[in-house]
Amino acid sequence: MPTVVKHTGKGGLLLLLLLCNWFNLTGNIPIPLENSTSLLLQELNSIFLSIVIEALPFVLVGIFVSAFIQTFVSPELIQKLIPRHRLWGIIVSSLLGLIFPLCECGMVPITRRLVAKGVPVSMAVSFMLAAPVINPLVGLSTYLAFNSSPYMAGYRLLGTFISTIVVAYLLGGNSRPDSVLSGIGHHSYCGHDHDQNCNHKHGLLAKLNAMSAHACEEFFDMGRFLLIGSFLAALCQGFIPRTALLAFGQDSFLSVLGMMSFAFVISVCSQADAFIAAPFLTSFTPGAVTAFLILGPMLDIKNTLMLFSGFKPWFVMKLILLIVCMVFAVSMSINIFPQVWTVIIGG
């Protein structure tokens, strides 16, 4: 019987699950703790579990979509479907969320699989960055969360669209998969090395078995980073008071940096982050709140760890730098030229 995943991956995930179990039972440890410490541990426990429970379903969806692409979608088919013009391809990819409304928690495995199948890096990245925001569900939730300031939904959608196109275009176009992906071509559930293509299997049942094997490996690969990222996000939320952000909420420059940092740390899915951001609009500049709404779905703790697990470090660092710079520039332009943005979105 073929080995589904590497033993090191299984062992790493098992240790993390044991850590999570200890973390979940800290309230029952027979060690005398001060009330403040006990309350802090309970709060960290609640935050950690809420992040994992919220993200896990979307990660599983992303993993199975990735496995489906790997098993049933051939590189030849992808090459026929993708636009030949680079900029047009980036624009089309940025709008695919209108058809496939996916959460950012499951986008990394899908993006990695698309690149491995031959989709240009710029198009795969534009889909990864834009789809979690530019989709009907997130658009509606943002509009409802900011019902007294409906222009915020326009800021978010347009800001994400602009940021995605610029980042994807600057990142590069047709890089080879082995130049940006880490660990490409080595799959322990197949008996040999190959270019991430198991087309030697024929028949529906064999393909479904192969899809299950791909999904299983992807789960062990991504699951550990989801848990680590969620754990770090819980620690940050527990020890960094939100009131610290309010000290510079009306500063055009610092407020944007503060809310970008907050978005990276809090690691909330794009369907719910608007309801967290809405109360800050009374204390922060519109550009700062927009920065939170744009950056969070593109970059947070758990997604960053997943990116480093699936892509080369230099590629991830370049991607992070471009995202941060572009989101900051877009958000600052909202603070500096609010009238221009109001005219553009028709507010």
Angle CA 282–288–293, to nearest 5:
100
How far is CA 37 from each of CA 43, 48, 51, 77, 304, rounded to the nearest angstrom?
A: 10, 16, 21, 57, 29
DSSP 196: S
- Average of pLDDT values for 296-319? 91
Residue whose C-alpha is closest to residue 168's, from 323, 314, 332: 323
What is the band of 228 on the pLDDT scale with cuts at 50, 70, 90? confident
Q: What is the pLDDT, as a whole number, of residue 57?
A: 75
Where do runs of H (alpha helix) occur along 25-106?
35-72, 75-81, 86-94
Which contacts of 208-213 are long-range, i.e. CB under 8 A and separated by 24 or more positions?
Answer: 208/71, 210/70, 210/71, 211/64, 211/67, 211/68, 211/70, 211/71, 211/72, 212/67, 213/2, 213/4, 213/189
pTM over cut 0.95: no
How sure is the predictor about 195, in pLDDT bands with cuts at 50, 70 and 90? very low
CB-neighbour burial class of residue 13 (10 A; exposed 0-12, middle 13-18, buried 19+): buried
Q: What is the pLDDT of residue 109?
A: 86
Q: For position 202, what pLDDT does the model report?
A: 61
Give the per-residue pLDDT at 203.
75
1-5, 6-10, 103-107, 216-220 — most confident range: 103-107
Mean pLDDT of 187-192: 40
| Count of alpha carbons within 13 angstroms of residue 35, beta-carbon side | 0
| Contact between 157 and 346 (Cβ < 8 Å) | no
Widest CA span of the chain, in angstroms?
A: 66
Q: CA of 267: how far to CAs of 14, 57, 139, 347, in Å?
A: 23, 15, 19, 29
Better pLDDT: 195 or 147: 147
Distance CA 127, CA 160 (A): 11
Indicate the pLDDT class of residue 245, thresholds 50, 70 and 90: low
Query: Which of 177-186, 188-197, 251-260 has the lowest average pLDDT?
Result: 188-197
Q: How distant is the alpha carbon of residue 72 from its chain centre?
A: 24
Distances (CA, A) of 22 to 16, 45, 121, 139: 10, 10, 40, 38
What's the rounded mean pLDDT across residues 312-324? 95
Q: What mean pLDDT do residues 72-90 have?
A: 77
Residue 310 has pLDDT above 90, yes or no: no
Q: What is the pLDDT of residues 257-281, one digit of tens each?
A: 989 998 898 877 787 788 888 888 8
Residues 146-166 as b/e (b if ≥16 CB within 10 A, e otherwise) read beebebbbbbbbbbbbbbbbb
Q: What average pLDDT does the structure give for the chain?
A: 78
Please tell me which of 109-113, 166-170, 241-245 the model is most confident about, judged by mean pLDDT: 166-170
Main-chain phi, psi angles of 318, to 5 degrees: -65, -40
DSSP 9: H
**CB distance 74 to 29 below 8 Å:** no
Does 34 score more than 70 pLDDT?
Answer: no
Domain boundaries, the chain: 7-345
Q: What does the angle CA 124 – CA 107 – CA 51 come to, to the nearest 5 degrees?
A: 155
- pLDDT digit string (tens) for 114-166? 888 888 899 999 999 998 899 888 888 889 889 888 899 999 999 999 999 99
State the pLDDT confidence band at 307, using cuts at 50, 70 and 90.
very high
Q: Look at residue 5 in the predicted model and tell me its pLDDT.
A: 41
- For the ranges 159-168, 191-200, 225-234, the lowest mean pLDDT is seen at 191-200
* pLDDT score at 247: 67
φ, ψ for residue 181, nearest 5 deg: -90, 145
